[in-house]
């Protein structure tokens, strides 16, 4: 049992306006670890982050999970300050006093300079303890530089805990490089808000006993700087990496360790949680893993001037843009079906392991038996697959031998029992038999050391037999790719729910089933309305928890096409106008470094684009390389005229005569036709007219792994 099931780490910010929409450093970042990798989220205002934390804590309490929440700013000032403000040393009383003075709007506008000036005025005989501000805020009560003599006003510059870490900045410094003072003034009121909200369910370490469902503590993420930098992704914002790794480190502690750390510290000045325990924290993280780089943001960009892209060219471009992102792990072969090999496999042993009999019969040395017909006395005993014969069969004699039995010494040939007359002590048969007849040499199938399966191969049931036969009990495979699925559209409702006028979300169940069939783990992002904030939140969740995102709907350039609009303004979007029907533009984008496949909303078009583009692209990301569909040439059972210059995909199936018939309606909303079909007919850009009997390409769904 861990002390806390959930560890939350918060990187706070004192910005005076909302942080940019695009995640940026020096904003609020929150990492949440519950075992496994931490999830990181980005928050644009203190108010929004506080609301988010309240919902999170409530959900964790409801789920029966204890939460440790760390914040990266001091929870107290050096001894004496609380007393000067409130008349008591109680740091939590000071929280209330600060909260009572600070105004901090939902858009981060705040009065912290006024508060600092008011506090400074409490100290007679010189400048007060707070200093540092932008030039416009300079006044007799607040200076840009430090002029204060702390001893003269009865305070110290640093808390005892800060004196132990030279790099920490005192909470008095409100402005410029590395300062934390403004974060304290704007952070403590929010923590006070959490205290009021959760009452006796929440305690603040080390001022109160840490025995509540929610415990708040002060942290200093730079304490684990080396561990963070070893684990930071190449494009990861430092703040994000810090909260992620710090959350994982505290979550990794064993039973009792965290509770013991929470009991440390000073009841007046507070403490930095885990100080002095850096090695224990790092140990829990384990060795830093090599993380593959995310995709380049511009990986999907088309050269200038490229307009309608032929399907074949789109495929080539997509192939070139992607590379594997999955890490590897070792799994038992019994659970390896559908997994992708992360390393070349060679035989650890020969198959078969020894020369053996291919039939039930009698074994002898072919060179020792003279000419036919043969009469051979039998040696006592027999050789069976699980019970080899230990002795040597003398020249001119034979031994009873069963299928699969290793050939004993003195045997190189076997005669089938059906070809023999058998007495109790001898056999007779006609020859001739060539040497080695009815036997299988060792390694006949696979020789020890021979290449068996290449890296990137997706393991089938027969492959598992081959791996077992060649001496493998486990194999190195790529971790399953996590693919998030999001449906968008105001008109949509969850299947089986919603008003009668709503359109049931047909794409999500379909896409999720395709993805699991392709061996990926599905992360369900649910339904989002046509609203930028909702789509952004869903994409953020996808980027935090998945390796790729499939969206459907809103992918064109229309007014309600929030997915493409958002990807364009805050991600990196390339709308590929691919010359295919059904399809419309396919939005290919990256969001926080994660590839996004923006599929059309239309279920038929979403299905076709998923098969043609998402399937092979995801296979590359998953380590399986680009995969082509199977194409068979079959006679057409239909007649059709088509516009040249684009590919068309028709819902089709084979009739009793092996000809491709197509669904009578090409309407791209006709989901019934999808279900009716067992494959697609692919018509190339040059084709104009197909008559019955003409050869056409049939792409069976089975060849798409469906
Ligand atoms: P859009 O691409 O958002 O313009 O959607 C095109 C058409 O597909 C509209 O008729 C949508 O209602 C429909 N559609 C979009 N998403 C889905 C979905 N998940 N399930 C069923 N129909 C959808
Ligand atoms: Mg829509």
pLDDT at residue 307 is higher than 70: no
Poorest-confidence range of 145-149, 179-183, 375-379? 145-149
Reported pTM: 0.59
Fold of 356-440: Molybdopterin biosynthesis moeA protein; domain 3 (2.170.190)
pLDDT at 630 over 80: yes
> In the predicted model, what is the mean pLDDT of residues 647-656?
95
Element (H, E) at 576: strand 572-578
The per-residue pLDDT for range 532-571, each reduced to its tens digit, is 999 999 999 999 999 999 999 987 767 677 888 888 888 7
pLDDT band at residue 657 under the 50/70/90 scheme: very high
What is the Å distance from ligand 1's center to 133 Cα?
53
Domain coordinates in residue numbering, the chain: 6-74+194-285, 81-89+109-186, 315-323+480-621, 328-347+451-478, 356-440, 632-704
Report the atom number in ligand 1 closest to the C-alpha of 507. 19
CA 141 – CA 121 distance, rounded (Å) = 7
| Ligand 1 pocket by Cβ (under 6 Å) | 487, 489, 491-492, 503, 505-507, 552-555, 600-603
Atom 16 of ligand 1, nearest CA residue: 601
Mean pLDDT of 486-505: 91
Q: In this structure, which residue's CA is closest to atom 11 in ligand 1?
A: 601
**CA dist., res. 302 & res. 362, Å (int):** 71
| Tens of pLDDT, residues 64-100 | 999 999 999 999 999 999 999 999 999 999 999 999 9
Tokens of 233: 């992704």
* Residue 292 pLDDT: 57
At residue 157, does pLDDT exceed 80? Answer: yes
Determine the average pLDDT of the residues in 299-305: 62
Peptide bond into 62 cis (omega under 30): no
pLDDT tens figures, 381-415: 999 999 999 999 999 999 999 999 999 999 999 99
Q: What fold, for 315-323+480-621?
A: Molybdenum Cofactor Biosythetic Enzyme; Chain A (3.40.980)
420-422 and 426-429: which strand pairing?
A: antiparallel
Provide the pLDDT confidence category of residue 242 given band limits of 50, 70 and 90. very high
Instruction: Measure 429 CA to ligand 1 centroid, in angstroms.
Output: 77
Report CA(650)–ligand 1 centroid distance (Å): 19
Ligand 1 atom at minimum distance from 487 CA: 19
Q: Give, using CA atoms, the residue closest to atom 17 of ligand 1.
A: 601
Q: Ligand 1 atom closest to Cα of 553?
A: 3
pLDDT at res. 303: 57
For residue 225, what are its two tokens?
């700087």
Q: How far is the CA of 573 from the centre of ligand 2 (A)?
A: 18
Query: Per residue in 445-470, is it b (16+ CB within 10 Å) or e — as a string?
Result: ebeeeeebbebbbbbeeebbebbebb
- CA–centroid distance, 553 to ligand 1, in Å, is 5
Q: What number does the ligand 1 atom closest to the CA of 491 have?
A: 12
- Triad 189, 190, 193: Cα angle to 5°: 90
CB atoms within 10 A of CB 673: 19
635: exposed, middle or buried (C-beta count within 10 Å: 0-12, 13-18, 19+)?
middle
**For position 406, what pLDDT does the model report?**
96
Lowest mean pLDDT among 125-134, 685-694, 695-704: 125-134
For ligand 1, the distance from its centroid to the CA atom of residue 506, given in whole angstroms, is: 9
Q: Ligand 1 atom 8: the closest Cα is on which residue?
A: 602
Tell me, in angstroms, the distance from the centre of ligand 2 to residue 667's CA.
17
Q: Whose CA is nearest to atom 10 of ligand 1?
A: 602
What are residue 131's DSSP bridge partners? 173
Q: How far is the CA of 526 from the centre of ligand 2 (A)?
A: 15
- In CATH, the architecture of 632-704 is Beta Barrel (2.40)
Contact 564, 554 (CB under 8 A): yes
- Considering only the top CATH level, what class is 328-347+451-478? alpha beta
Q: Report, as an integer, the average pLDDT of 477-493.
A: 95
Q: Mean pLDDT, the chain, as a whole number?
A: 91
| pLDDT for the residue numbered 117 | 95
Ligand nearest to the CA of 487: 1
| Cα of 557 vs its chain's centroid, Å | 29
Segment holding 468, helix H or strand E = helix 461-469
Each residue's pLDDT tens digit, 587-612: 888 888 889 999 989 999 999 999 99
> For residue range 161-199, what is the model confidence (pLDDT) as tens digits?
998 887 888 999 999 878 999 999 999 999 999 999 999
As given in the structure block, the two tokens for residue 420 are: 């023999």
Closest by Cα among 431, 390, 395 to 412: 395
Sorted by sequence, the CB contacts under 8 Å of residue 306 that are 6+ apart come out as none
**pLDDT at site 607:** 96
The preferred substitution site among 564, 602, 609 for testing ligand 1, maximizing ligand atoms within 8 Å of CB, is 602
Residues 101-113 have a mean pLDDT of 96
Give the ligand 1 atom nearest the CA of 488: 16
């Amino acid at each position: 049992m861990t002390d806390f099931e959930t560890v939350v780490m918060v990187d706070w910010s004192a910005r005076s306006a909302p942080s940019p929409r695009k995640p940026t450093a020096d904003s609020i970042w929150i990492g949440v670890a519950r075992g496994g990798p931490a999830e990181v989220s980005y928050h644009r205002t203190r108010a929004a982050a506080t609301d988010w934390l309240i919902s999170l804590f409530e959900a964790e309490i409801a789920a029966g999970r204890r939460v440790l929440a760390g914040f990266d700013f001091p929870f107290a000032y050096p001894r004496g300050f609380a007393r000067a403000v409130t008349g008591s040393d109680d740091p939590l009383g000071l929280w209330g006093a600060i909260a009572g003075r600070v105004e901090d709007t939902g858009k981060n506008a705040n009065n912290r300079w006024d508060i600092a000036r008011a506090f400074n005025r409490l100290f007679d005989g010189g400048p007060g303890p707070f200093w540092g501000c932008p030039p416009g805020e300079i006044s007799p009560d607040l200076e840009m530089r430090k002029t204060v003599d702390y001893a003269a006003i009865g305070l110290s510059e640093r808390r005892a805990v800060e004196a132990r870490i030279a790099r920490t900045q005192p909470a008095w410094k409100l402005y410029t490089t590395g300062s934390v003072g403004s974060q304290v003034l704007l952070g403590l009121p929010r923590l006070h808000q959490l205290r009021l909200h959760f009452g006796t369910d929440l305690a603040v370490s080390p001022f109160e006993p840490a025995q509540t469902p929610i415990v708040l503590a002060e942290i200093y993420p730079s304490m684990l700087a080396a561990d963070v930098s070893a684990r930071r992704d190449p494009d990861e914002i430092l703040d994000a990496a810090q909260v992620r790794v710090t959350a994982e480190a505290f979550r990794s502690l064993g039973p009792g360790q965290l509770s013991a750390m929470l009991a440390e510290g000073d009841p007046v000045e507070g403490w930095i949680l885990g100080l002095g325990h850096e090695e224990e924290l790092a140990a829990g993280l384990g060795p830093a893993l090599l993380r593959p780089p995310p995709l380049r943001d511009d990986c999907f960009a088309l050269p200038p001037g490229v307009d309608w892209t032929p399907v074949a060219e789109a495929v080539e471009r997509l192939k070139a843009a992607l590379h594997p992102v999955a890490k590897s792990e070792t799994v038992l072969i019994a659970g390896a079906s559908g997994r992708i090999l992360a390393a070349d496999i060679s035989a650890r042993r020969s198959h078969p392991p020894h020369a053996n009999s291919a039939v039930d019969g009698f074994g002898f040395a072919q060179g020792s038996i003279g000419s036919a017909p043969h009469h051979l006395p039998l040696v006592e005993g027999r050789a069976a697959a699980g019970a080899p014969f230990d002795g040597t069969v003398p020249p001119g004699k034979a031994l009873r031998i069963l299928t699969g039995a290793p050939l004993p010494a003195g045997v190189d040939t076997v005669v089938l029992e059906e070809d023999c007359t058998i007495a109790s002590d001898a056999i007779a048969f006609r020859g001739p038999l060539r040497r080695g007849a009815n036997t299988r040499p060792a390694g006949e199938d696979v020789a020890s050391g021979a290449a068996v399966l290449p890296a990137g191969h997706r393991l089938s049931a027969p492959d598992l037999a081959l791996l077992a036969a060649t001496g493998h009990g486990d194999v190195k495979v790529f971790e399953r790719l996590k693919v998030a699925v999001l449906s968008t559209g105001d008109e949509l409702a969850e299947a089986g729910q919603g008003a009668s006028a709503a359109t049931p979300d047909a794409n999500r169940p379909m896409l999720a089933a395709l993805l699991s069939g392709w061996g990926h783990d599905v992360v369900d992002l649910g339904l989002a309305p046509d609203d930028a904030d909702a789509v952004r939140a869903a994409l953020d969740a996808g980027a935090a928890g998945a390796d790729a995102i499939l969206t459907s709907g809103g992918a064109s350039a229309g007014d309600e096409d929030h997915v493409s609009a958002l990807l364009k303004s805050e991600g990196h979007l390339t709308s590929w106008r691919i010359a295919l029907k059904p399809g419309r533009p396919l939005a290919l984008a990256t969001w926080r470094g994660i590839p996004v496949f923006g599929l059309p909303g239309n279920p038929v078009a979403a299905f076709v684009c998923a098969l043609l583009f998402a399937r092979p692209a995801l296979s590359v990301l998953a380590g399986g390389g680009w995969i082509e569909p199977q194409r068979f040439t079959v006679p057409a059972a239909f007649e059709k005229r088509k516009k040249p210059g684009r590919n068309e995909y028709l819902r089709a199936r084979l009739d009793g005569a092996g000809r491709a018939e197509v669904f009578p309606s090409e309407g791209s909303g006709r989901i019934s036709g999808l279900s009716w079909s067992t494959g697609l007919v692919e018509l190339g850009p040059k084709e104009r007219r197909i008559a019955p009997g003409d050869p056409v390409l049939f792409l069976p769904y089975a060849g798409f792994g469906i």
